[in-house]
Structure 1
Amino acid sequence: MQVLVIGSSGFIGKNLLATIDNTTGVSLRPHGWEKQFSFADIIVNLVGKAHDHQKVAAEHDYQYANVELTKQIYQEFIQSPAILLIHISSIAALEESESLVQLKETDTCNPISWYGRSKREAEEWLLGQVIPEGKMLIILRPPMVHGPGDKGNLGLLYKLISKGIPYPLSSFDNKRSFISIDNFCYYIERIIENPDKLKSGIYHIADDEPISTKEIIAVIKQETKKNVPNLALPKTLVKLIAKVGDVLPMPLNSKRLKKMTSDLLVSNEKIKKALGIKKLPLTAKEGLEKTIKSFKEG
C-alpha cells in the first residue's frame, strides 16, 4: 500500500512519515501537486489552518485552508486510483467550549470559532458527496495532539513550571481528553491495515483516559524536579486577566484559559470497537510523560 500524506511538513505529518511504512509526503505548494495522486492507494489529508493565537488570520484564511483545499483534495482523490481518503478534522468541529460527558460522533455540533466552523463545513461538504463504489472516506476528529516536537499549550505550561513560576490556575478542577502522537499514528496504522472493518463516516480518536491540568502539572514537576507551589487565584481574577489577554499580547487569553481549565471529554469507543482495539500503545499519562521529557531534552 502506497500512502500519501498531504500536508506532511507539520508536527503530525512528520511523525506519520517516520512511523508508517510506504508513506510519501506531499505539499500543495508546487504546481502540479495533484499528479502525485496517480500512484496512491491511501491518502491522508492533514492540510488545514489551526487556531491562530497571534490573531493575524482572517476568516477567509480558514475557509480557504480548511474548506476549499479539502474540496480540491477530495476531487483529486475521486479521480485517482486511491481507495481510501483519511481526512483529519478536529473535535472542534463538534465542540470547542466544554463537555462534562464523553462526546460521541452522533452529538449535535456546536463549533464557535472560525477554525471550528470551517472544520465542520468541510465535514458537511465531504459527507454530502456521493462516494464511488470501491472508495472510502474516513473523517477523524482528534482532540489536542501532543508529543515530541509539539509547540502547543503543554509547552507553555512546561516553560512556566521549569522556570520556577507557580501555576496560578489550581482553583480550577477539570479533565480533558488528549491524544499522544504515538496513539494518533497507531490509529492511522490500524485504519490503513484494516479499512474493510470501517464504514465511510466520522470517527473520534483519543487516548483512553482523560487527564486533568493538575495531573499535567504534577508530571511536569516530576520531570523538571521543580517543587513549585500551585497558586489558587480567585477564578474571577483569572478570568479578568484572560480578558486583558484578549486585547493585549499576553500568554493567557480567554480561549487558552478555556482549553486549560474546562472539561472536554471525547469517546473513542466507536473506532476501537470497529477495529477491535483493546488497548492503545500508551496510556494518557505515559504519552504525557514522553512529551514532557522531550521538552526537557530539547
Structure 2
Amino acid sequence: MTKIILTGATGFVGLRLLSQLEQCSERQIIGLCRRLPQGRSSSGLHAVGDLQQANLSALLPGVDVLIHAAARAHIMTDEVADPLAEYRRVNVEGTLSLARQAVAAGVKRFIFISSIKVNGEATVNERAFFASDEPAPEDAYGSSKLEAEQGLMQLAAETGMEVVIIRPPLVYGPGVKGNFASMIKLVEKGLPLPLGAIHNKRSLMGIDNLIDLITRCIDHPAAANQIFLAGDGQDLSTTELLRGVGRAMGKPARLIPVPAGMLQFGATLLGKRAMAQRLLGSLQVDISKACELLDWKPPYTVEEGLRRCFEHPV
C-alpha cells in the first residue's frame, strides 16, 4: 500500500484530490490543513497550522509520496506591505521546510503543484510555453513558485528524493473562485458583455484533469525529477470560453462583438491593463511532455469539464 500525505487538503484542488485518493483501497491518504473546517469529519485530516513552522515528524515516517498543494495563492489586490516577502515565506520557506522534513523521514517522492506563472504571463504568435523554456515570472507569486522549484530540484540532486513539478494554468471546476467565478456570475445574470470578437488562445485545466495527472505522477517511474506543464489540451478564445460556460449552464452568453483593440485602449485608459491581458491576451501551454512521458491524456474535454462545473456542485 502506498502511503501519501497531501497538504492543502481543504483547498480547491486539495479537497477534490483528497476525495479521489480516499476511494483507492491501495493508497492510504493523510490530509494536512492549517485548521480543521467546521462541520467536516476530522478522519484522515490533520490540522498543522502554518507549514513553515509545522513539525511533521510524527506523521511522515512510512510515507512514500508527499503531494504539496498548499500555497499562498495568487492575490489580485494584495494588501500586505511586501507581497514578495510574504509569498517567499509561505511558498518558498514553507515548501522547503516541508521537503527537508520529508527527506529526513525517507519520503521517496515529492510532488509540487506549481504554476504556469513560472513560465510567464503571455504567449505570442501561437507559440505555446514548453516545460524546457527559460522561466520568466513577472510577479511575486510566480517568482516564489520558481524559487521553490529551484530549491526542490537542488534538494533532489543532493539527497536522491524524487521531485515532480506540475505547472497548471487557470484551473476551473465546481466551487471555483476568483476570476472564473466572476465570469460565471456575469453569464448567469445574462449581462451583455463586449467580448464577442476576441480571437486569443488560452489554455485552461479542468480540476478533474489536473487530479488525474497528479494521480498518474504518484508512482509513474518516468515522472521522477521532471517538470510538466498541464492543461486540457484544448485552447479557447475568451469568446469561445464564455459561450462554452453559457452552454454548460443552459444560459447562452450575451456577447457584443467589440474589437479587441478598442477594448485594450479603454482598459489602458482605466488602468486595467492586467485585466485586459487576461481577457484579450493569449497563454498557451504545450502538454506533450506529460502525454508522452507518462502515457497520459486529459480524460475530459473542456466541454465536459465545464459541464461538470454545474453537474457536480460542491
Same fold (TM over 0.5): yes
Which residue of the other structure, out of 111, 115, 119, is the alignment partner of 2:141? Answer: 115
Aligned counterpart, 2:161: 135
Aligned counterpart, 2:29: 23
Gaps of 5+ in 2: 23-27, 34-47
Aligned counterpart, 1:170: 196
1:37 partner letter = L
Q: Secondary structure at the match of 2:236?
A: coil
**Is the alpha carbon distance of 1:192 and 1:207 closer, same or farther for their aligned partners in structure 2, counting shifts above 3 Å?**
same
Q: TM-score, normalised by structure 2?
A: 0.83
* Cα shift at 1:47: 2.1
1:216/1:288 contact within 8 Å kept: no
Aligned counterpart, 1:209: 234
Q: TM-score, normalised by structure 1?
A: 0.88
Aligned counterpart, 2:25: none
Q: What are the Cα deviations for residues 84-125 of structure 1, in whole angstroms up to 9, with x where unaligned?
A: 000111110111133421211111211111111111111122
1:83 partner letter = K
Q: Size of the alignment, in residue pairs? A: 288
- Tell me how far apart the structure 2 counterparts of residues 240 and 168 of structure 1 sit (CA, whole Å): 13
1:182/1:287 contact within 8 Å kept: yes
1:47/1:65 contact within 8 Å kept: no
Which residue of the other structure, out of 169, 177, 188, is the alignment partner of 2:214? Answer: 188
2:66/2:110 contact within 8 Å kept: yes
Identity %: 27
**Is the alpha carbon distance of 1:237 and 1:55 closer, same or farther for their aligned partners in structure 2, counting shifts above 3 Å?**
farther
**Is the alpha carbon distance of 1:95 and 1:127 closer, same or farther for their aligned partners in structure 2, counting shifts above 3 Å?**
same
**Is the alpha carbon distance of 1:206 and 1:228 closer, same or farther for their aligned partners in structure 2, counting shifts above 3 Å?**
closer
Q: What are the Cα deviations for residues 268-294 of structure 1, in whole angstroms up to 9, with x where unaligned?
A: 1112211112x3210122112222555
Is 1:4 aligned to 2:15, yes or no?
Answer: no
1:90/1:140 contact within 8 Å kept: yes
2:186 partner letter = L
Q: What are the Cα deviations for residues 140-183 of structure 1, in whole angstroms up to 9, with x where unaligned?
A: 11111111111132211111111111122233211111111111
Aligned counterpart, 2:120: 95
Q: Secondary structure at the match of 1:265?
A: coil
- Tell me how far apart the structure 2 counterparts of residues 125 and 65 of structure 1 sit (CA, whole Å): 14
* Cα shift at 1:60: 1.3
1:5/1:13 contact within 8 Å kept: yes
2:118/2:135 contact within 8 Å kept: yes
1:177/1:206 contact within 8 Å kept: yes
